[in-house]
Structure 1
Amino acid sequence: MKKMRVISAAVLGCISSLAMAQTTLGNSSVTLYGLVDVGFTHVTGGPGGTQNNIASGNMEGSRFGFKGNEDLGGGYRAIFTLEGRFEADTGALSNRPASLGKLPDRLSTATSLGLPAALQPAVSAVAAQLGSTIGVNLGNSLFDRQAFVGLVTPVGAFTLGRQYTPAYLATANFDVMKTESSLALGQLVAIPTSFDIRVSNSLQYGLQKDGLSATAMYAAGEVAGKASASRLLGAMVIYNGNGYSLGGGYNTRNNELGEKSLTTAIIGATLDAGPGTVYGQYASIKDDHPTGLSVIAPTLVAGGLSTTAANLVQNAFINGFKQNARLFQIGYRITSGVHTISVAYNSMNDRRPFNADRSSYGAAYTYALSKRTDLSAVLTHLNNKSPSQDALGGNGYVGGVSASPGQDSSSMAFTIRHRF
């Protein structure tokens, strides 16, 4: 059998780093690496009007990490990765969007949810609680980005811990922006989230043979007495040919009751054309049993609301957070010497009764000062079709919501990024 060359989930996740410090002992090594990304943003359309900020994570989330590798002989290697985020503008480990805990009006107004106006106090209480969970690493986990250990063998790599999901690896590969900046496809599906980016308690198998790369993942929900609750399954396959690539990915997750919840399927391709490369992808998003909402009714009953009214509110939020959408991106990327130019058009077709369609388009330019340091400028405009209320963020932070349904949002960002 031809020997297979194995790649880890970290490589498939498009993690770019240059070693600054490496310690070698015998046949093993530990590498310190990271990335600092910070710059100026000018965003319009938010609840507070135009926002001018110094922000971390405009192009990529700032991070630091450790990677270990030990040659065990016979084609076997032990590996580990520990990677944490930080905010280069404040030094914090987490961040909240400019709109803080505000949900879109369609998810926080009783009448929009199909409920009597008299239930607005209960709706507001639930919306405030759900809104408090919007942000990045709000639990301040030290290694929120990645934390896994694994064994590379002649027939594949097995890794266990907190890792990128297969569907996210696929969409990142076929995103013309590689998920960077406000121009990335994922900016259209932040609330509610349509991609499980990372998952804890996971076992992943990955391999690469010639131009074929593949991963398969099982993530345990670890809910006592419910083996299927909060479980995630996923797989990804990508083939890189001469001047083209194609492939896809799939994730499906259960909610806390064991019901099938968020399911994401992606297909994509790239094609070298002229001086650059065309990128395209199409994704299907489906969620009939949203996660984490089964506690709404018991909480409201404990607060004094009748069981009947509490169930009405819970069911309304479940219907409101259901997802049925199609995502599409087409883009073109040119790299010439120290210059990289990307353009993209993204769309989200919401197939629910809300019909909260949205789209974005723009351009990004990066100038490489060196192999480790670059400057970037990104201009993005987002069109919200009422009742859509999306707002633009960056790779390292959520944009939140716009001021009102149908309010468009624009973003202009200038960033310096250094890898170490």
Structure 2
Amino acid sequence: MMHKLTYILAIVLMFIGSFSLVGQSEIKNTFKLLTHDTEFEAGHSILLKFSGDGETNPLLYCTNSYGSVLIQGTNKNKILAFEIPKSIANKTGLVNWKLLTNGTNLSGKFNITPKQKVSKMETYLGPPSIEAGGTDYSMLVVIPTDPLDNPLQDSTQVNVKHQFLTSEYNNAIYTNYLIAYKNLYSETKSGRMLISSDALGTHSKEYTVNVLPAIPANFKISYQQHHNYADGNQITTFTTSIIEDKYDNIVSDGTYVDFFITNKDNNILKTSGTTINGIATAKMIHPDHEDTWSVKAFIEGMAESDNISLNFKQVITDFEVAFSDDSRTITIGPLQSFMKQMIPDGLQVKLHFYQNDTKIKTLLKSSFEGFVTFKLNEDIIPVPSDINDTFKIIIETARIEKSFENIKL
């Protein structure tokens, strides 16, 4: 019985000692915030002070949008002080803190505001080119920052100036959610817009937006040529009128124009050019036979021209053909143009070989000094197995054909 009482007494003493230790721990770790400021300017020293009877130095946990940090404080004369590091004190925004103790649960927050001084104007502008007409615009975004690279407080005034042709404009805008912006709309004329901004006496550099002509309007085309003979040599030049948009702005240099040519056989030829001072030119060589061209120009997906028609006269109406060397040398010519002069070099001549009404070979050559000569060696046209075999030869140039029957090689 005596042992049982002793055991119970020992347990009671242990509980009493435990409560005594808990009480001492709560007393030692009881702190009170002495710093009542909740707003600080970026770059200044920030000190959080606590009073208390704690014998240990707890850590202070701080966190903001840039990260988190644990701070070791100093305890002097029962005043616990924590200096906020520059990595947090130099950045604007809300900072949350918590004192890591076993006793009193202390936490709070404070706000860091930017310096009211502009060190740099972060400026963004785009797009760099817009279309005339008053509907397209370029956006200017301005972020005035303090010497610590913090955006200034909301409602900071930013003055935006821009100049276009003979007009100058000045508008005041205000920062909201750290930025200020303005839409700069085009006018009906094309040209260059110059833009600048300033805030609290600090100015940005000059920026430029090019106001380009709007979509081209329909236009007209014309042509120039030395003559209208189909000699396969001369060149016809196609020219557009001055191409403008609906606001009478000349289109930008380099605008691509396609010229489509439909001939008498409904085949389509194409040539193209790019504009200089609003005018595009393109060239096309004359056909080598009588033909009619229908010409129309397009700026793809945007504008088109009227339709013009050209007629080309036949220049070659007949030609001579001479056979020699057992008909293995065939000379065509002279090929003469509209003034009986030799046709310019390069006229195409075709030679078609038929055996038993079946085409077996086509040879192609270009004229030189008014003549074309075909030499039919045995590699081109083999000696027939039957000496009585004959060939049919058709010679074609400038859409004129001459046929020769029963030719022996």
TM-score per shorter chain, which class?
A: under 0.3
Which structure has the higher relative contact order (CA within 8 Å, separation 6+)? 1
Name the structure where helix makes up a greater proportion of residues: 1
Name the TM-score, length of structure 1 as normaliser: 0.15
Name the TM-score, length of structure 2 as normaliser: 0.16
